[in-house]
Amino acid sequence: MAHPSDTRYLVAPGGTLRGRLRVPGDKSISHRSIMLAAIAEGETRISGFLEGADALATLNAFRRMGVRIEGPDGGEVRVQGVGMRGLQSPDGPLDMGNSGTSMRLLSGLLAGQAFPVTLVGDGSLSKRPMRRVTEPLAQMGARIGTTEGGTAPLDLAPVARLTGLDYTMPVASAQVKSSLLLAGLYAEGETCVTEPAPTRDHTERMLTAFGYSVRRHAAKVCLTGGGRLTGCRLTIPADISSAAFFLVGASIAPGSDLILEGVGINPTRVGVINILRAMGGDIELMDRRTAGGEPVADIRVRHAPLRGIRIPVDQVPLAIDELPVLFIAAACAEGETVLTGAEELRVKESDRIQVMADGLAKLGVCAEPLPDGMRIFGGALGSTGDADTIDAPSIDAHGDHRIAMSFAIAALRASGPVAIRDCANVETSFPGFVELAGSAGLSIQATRG
């Protein structure tokens, strides 16, 4: 049953996505832009910053540590960097909201500071595993307290110094890699992280843009502590993880033809394009260019009949946040799609395997959750029913932004309306989703309690 304070989506079935649109700035890059600008020397000007709750949690945390930040105003932010040792003790716990990236990256960046700090988060974030960062950080000399279960709140005690570490990650995680590299800036000697599979490399690219030397040898990335960052100008591309909803939507909705402008196409993020193309998707990259050290393109996507595939395991880290909406593509494809090697989906903002399987079942799709993935049999999508009262049957997004938007997109091929509850957190990554999707052709209405 819906709670009266829910944000719910009611999406009418069918429709076609057409036109040109620009989705908001990249969330991963927005977080990093504030973090590095804050500890750089001099001013950094950022454009294309994502004004969503997650990136704003990072921004507010640095304000509370004494960093002067103007904006965001239309995606423009100016940060007056305080240098490596210029952060000040905040006057209380720093609230990371729903944002795993803020908490894990900040635990690294703050591990070597001379003041204590506590990082807290919302109900979902407080259940997510933090030992993956606190344990290697402890090996560097950090003193970080967690709950018994290894979750937030994280209590960081001041330490005299950190020492470099040569660490091989057990899971392919850009958040863990970035956390350790950020701690490595404050460590004596060299910090190296080896990844079991390639993960997003925005931290490495951006450190280079701030003039900090980062070395990569195959799967190993290293830096030496004690250097300095110099403020710069950054342009943040549109977020491919937000574009993904439209890439899938236009692929599944007959008659669709959409251009998505200025989307980041970093090779460590393009799994969604690779997977959709392998399923038969019609996706064209136009006007390729570079912005702020990141490759960017306009993406044209047209409707195409999709077929089920076995998703290559090497694509999983490259599409980790796009897998929920790719399940919708699979549900609309001919034949079976199988995903394995994606157990990480169970510890995201929700258990994305179970929550997607439950929602797909509500739409009559045959989806079998696996411990590390999903098996989906493509076919017709049903509906949650056509009642639009607060207690009408609905799909539960469990407060997970990407689940809510995935099922909104599914309505393009549903037999009747799709109602989704607990959608407020779409604001964490995609402010304006309802309006933008509406302008492209989705008949979506939000009701806020």
Tokens 């454009």 sit at which residue? 47
> Among the candidate windows 146-154, 172-180, 215-223, 435-443, which touches ligand S3P by CB under 6 A?
172-180
Residue type, position 25, single letter: G
| Shortest distance (Å) from residue 419 CB to ligand S3P | 26
Site for ligand S3P in 314-343 (CB under 6 A): 320-321
Is 177 annotated to bind a ligand? Reply is: no
> Among the candidate windows 169-177, 260-268, 360-368, 374-382, which touches ligand S3P by CB under 6 A?
169-177
| Shortest distance (Å) from residue 202 CB to ligand S3P | 7
> Among the candidate windows 168-176, 251-259, 286-294, 334-342, which touches ligand S3P by CB under 6 A?
168-176
Cα torsion 111, 112, 118, 121: sign: negative
| Shortest distance (Å) from residue 200 CB to ligand S3P | 6
For 179, 192, 250, 365, the CA distances from 247, given in Å and listed in that order, are: 31, 36, 6, 21
By CB under 6 A, residue 178 contacts ligand S3P: yes
Residue type, position 253, single letter: A
- Name the catalytic one among 201, 321, 396, 422: 321
Burial of 305 (0-12, 13-18, 19+ CB in 10 A): middle
Which of 8, 200, 269, 421 contacts ligand S3P by CB under 6 A? 200
| Shortest distance (Å) from residue 232 CB to ligand S3P | 20
Is 127 annotated to bind a ligand? Reply is: no
Is 216 annotated to bind a ligand? Reply is: no
| Shortest distance (Å) from residue 308 CB to ligand S3P | 24
Take residue 259 and report the two structure tokens written for it: 């251009």
Take residue 103 and report the two structure tokens written for it: 């908490």
Take residue 14 and report the two structure tokens written for it: 């069918």
By CB under 6 A, residue 175 contacts ligand S3P: yes
321 labelled catalytic? yes
Name the phi and psi angles at 154, rounded to 5.
-105, 125
Q: Which is nearer to ligand S3P, 12 or 347 (CB)?
A: 347
Half-sphere exposure of 215 (CA within 13 A, CB side): 8
Take residue 356 and report the two structure tokens written for it: 């997607």
Q: How many residues bind ligand S3P (CB under 6 A)?
A: 10
Which of 28, 33, 98, 146 contacts ligand S3P by CB under 6 A? 28
Here's the x/- map for ligand S3P, 339-368, by CB under 6 A: it reads as -----x------------------------
Is 128 annotated to bind a ligand? Reply is: yes
By CB under 6 A, residue 134 contacts ligand S3P: no
DSSP string, 132-174: HHHHHHHHTT-EEE--TTS-S-EEEEP-S-EE--EEE-SS--H
Q: State the angle between helix axes of 27-38 and 100-110 in degrees (0 to 180), rounded to the nearest 10.
A: 20
| Residues forming a β-bridge with 41 | 82, 230
Q: Which is nearer to ligand S3P, 131 or 302 (CB)?
A: 131
| Residues forming a β-bridge with 381 | 414
- Angle of CA points 345, 58, 141, to nearest 5°: 80
DSSP string, 390-408: TTS--EE-TT-HHHHHHHH
Burial of 89 (0-12, 13-18, 19+ CB in 10 A): middle
Pairing between β-strand 418-421 and β-strand 190-194 as defined by DSSP bridges: unpaired
Is 100 annotated to bind a ligand? Reply is: yes
Q: Which helix (H) or strand (E) holds 190?
A: strand 190-194
Which of 17, 174, 187, 192 contacts ligand S3P by CB under 6 A? 174
By CB under 6 A, residue 102 contacts ligand S3P: no
Site for ligand S3P in 393-422 (CB under 6 A): none
Which of 7, 101, 107, 350 contacts ligand S3P by CB under 6 A? 101
Here's the x/- map for ligand S3P, 249-268, by CB under 6 A: it reads as --------------------
Q: State the angle between helix axes of 433-440 and 240-252 in degrees (0 to 180), rounded to the nearest 10.
A: 30
The residues of the shown chain that bind ligand S3P, judged by CB under 6 A, are 28, 101, 173-175, 178, 200, 320-321, 344
Binding residues for 3-phosphoshikimate: 27-28, 32, 173, 175, 321, 348
Binding residues: 27-28, 32, 100, 128, 173, 175, 321, 348, 352, 402
Annotated catalytic residues are: 321
Binding residues for phosphoenolpyruvate: 27, 100, 128, 175, 352, 402
